[in-house]
Amino acid sequence: MDFQAAEKKAAELQNLLNQYGYEYYVLDKPSVPDAEYDRLMRELTEIEEQFPELKTQDSPTQRVGGEILDMFKKVEHNIPMLSLGNAFGEQDLRDFDRRVRQAVGEKVSYVCELKIDGLAVSLRYEKGMFVRGATRGDGTIGEDITSNLKTIRSIPLRLSEPATLEVRGEAFMPKKSFMALNEAKQKRDEEPFANPRNAAAGSLRQLDPKIAASRNLDIFLYGIGDPGETGIESHSEGLDYLEKLGFKTNKERRRAANIDEVIKFVESWVERRPDLPYDIDGIVIKVDSLEQQEELGTTAKSPRWAIAFKFPAEEVVTILKAIELNV
């Protein structure tokens, strides 16, 4: 095959594989069997071996990066990554709601989101291309873990439109992957991870991207660095915009017209929590209107328009289950 034909074929395969990857990892609705995906990936890999200049930054073959790093570079977040105040009971939620309504006066509606028990990360895209991923760090300075985040299949390497923005989300390890990883560790007489959050953090702190790639990590995005630039008016519209761009968001989110509906949603998740395929440590409640968020503003640490309801810690049964599996 001459270069012209190879260039055309490679572009076709990259688009096809990125589409199939999106359907499988983001929508969880694969449209082709794995064998077909693997065959196309092998075909693209061969062409890129023959013509290395065709290895584009967003080629699906570039997910599991090259060299082992000797350290992570420091990264300054353009927009700080703030933290959340906590609520531990119904009264805390009602106090939060009263403070909010006193400040913005009229009716307030909320968005409730699951609080995934993972690692907060920030993804930067320029003209639609994934250029950098970082840990939260102290909120202002994080660590550049781009090569490890590229191995998370649900992170798009190129967006559906050439947007330049920073998005925030939670990288995590699904419970099934956590159990399998600890079983494998036990078999190798290695120290198991205490919980999926530690396992996700430990995996993203690996200097060798091949190890991160083997850990079946996933991610849910929940925020846009500076929504102001997108003309979006509410947080829920912001999440819809993230989906339109090709990001994976958590579908268990719910709008609430008032704090009573928030409390009902929180109560429903206390018992539904064990049925989820990933750990959550609470529910995040956010004022939906961006105008009201602006009015409320943020302290140096956290927004006044959001709060995290924390569940009581689930006793650590995961290790015992893994040992049971072994027996």
Ligand X SMILES: CC(C)(CNC(=O)c1ccc(Oc2ccccc2)cc1)c1ccc2c(N)nc(N)nc2n1
Q: Torsion-angle region of residue 106: left (phi > 0), alpha (psi -120 to 50) or beta? A: beta
Looking at this protein, which amino acid is placed at residue 121? V
Name the residue nearer to ligand X (CB basis): 20 or 96.
Answer: 96
Tokens for 288, please give them.
């939906």
Q: Which of 9, 55, 73, 115 is catalytic?
A: 115
DSSP letter string over 2-48?
A: -HHHHHHHHHHHHHHHHHHHIIIIISS--SS-HHHHHHHHHHHHHHH
Question: Does the active-site annotation cover 115?
Answer: yes
Scan for tokens 């419970």, then name that residue: 175
In the complex, minimum distance from the CB of residue 297 to ligand X, in angstroms, rounded to a whole number: 8
Instruction: Identify residues 203-232 at the interface with ligand X (CB under 6 A).
Output: 222-223
Residue with tokens 């819809």: 240
| Residue placing its CB nearer to ligand X in the complex, 65 or 303 | 303
Q: Which two tokens stand for residue 108?
A: 């307030």
Work out whether 80 is an interface residue with ligand X (CB under 6 A): yes
Of the residues 11, 16, 64, 82, which one makes contact with ligand X according to CB under 6 A = 82
Nearer to ligand X, 167 or 259 (CB): 167
Least spacing, CB of residue 288 vs ligand X, in Å: 12
Measured from the CB atom, the residue of 113 and 143 that comes closer to ligand X is: 113
CA angle 8, 11, 17 (to 5 degrees): 135
Please identify, among the stretches 2-10, 76-84, 127-135, 172-180, the one whose residues bind ligand X according to the rule CB under 6 A.
76-84
* Amino acid (1-letter code) at residue 268: S
Among residues 211, 298, 310, 311, which is the contact residue for ligand X, using CB under 6 A? 298
284 contacts ligand X (rule: CB under 6 A)? yes
Tokens of 154: 């649900």
Phi-psi region of 194 (alpha: psi -120 to 50; beta: other; left: phi over 0): alpha
Dihedral sign, Cα of residue 152, residue 153, residue 157, residue 159: negative
Tell me if residue 300 falls in helix, strand or coil.
coil
Using CB under 6 A as the binding rule, the residues of this chain from 149 to 178 that contact ligand X are 168, 170
CA atoms of 111 and 291, how far apart (whole Å) = 14
Stretch that binds ligand X, among 81-89, 92-100, 141-149, 262-270 (CB under 6 A): 81-89
CA distance linking residue 28 with residue 88, whole number of Å: 33
Residue 79 is a binding residue for ligand X (CB under 6 A): yes
Q: Which stretch binds ligand X (CB under 6 A): 31-39, 44-52, 80-88, 171-179?
A: 80-88
Is the CB of residue 135 less than 8 Å from the CB of residue 119? yes
115 near ligand X, rule: CB under 6 A: yes
**84 lies in the site for ligand X, by CB under 6 A:** yes
Number of residues that this document lists for the chain: 327
303 binds ligand X (CB under 6 A): yes
**β pairing state of 141-143 and 74-76:** antiparallel
The neighbour count for residue 88, using CB atoms within 10 Å, is 13
Between 84 and 204, CB nearer to ligand X = 84
Binding mask 306-325 for ligand X (x = CB under 6 A): x-------------------
Residue 192 or 223 having the CB closest to ligand X: 223
CB of 247 to ligand X, least distance (A): 13
Q: Which is nearer to ligand X, 113 or 279 (CB)?
A: 113
Positions touching ligand X (CB under 6 A) are 79-82, 84, 113, 115, 120, 168, 170, 222-223, 284, 298, 303, 306
Catalytic residue numbers, as ranges: 115
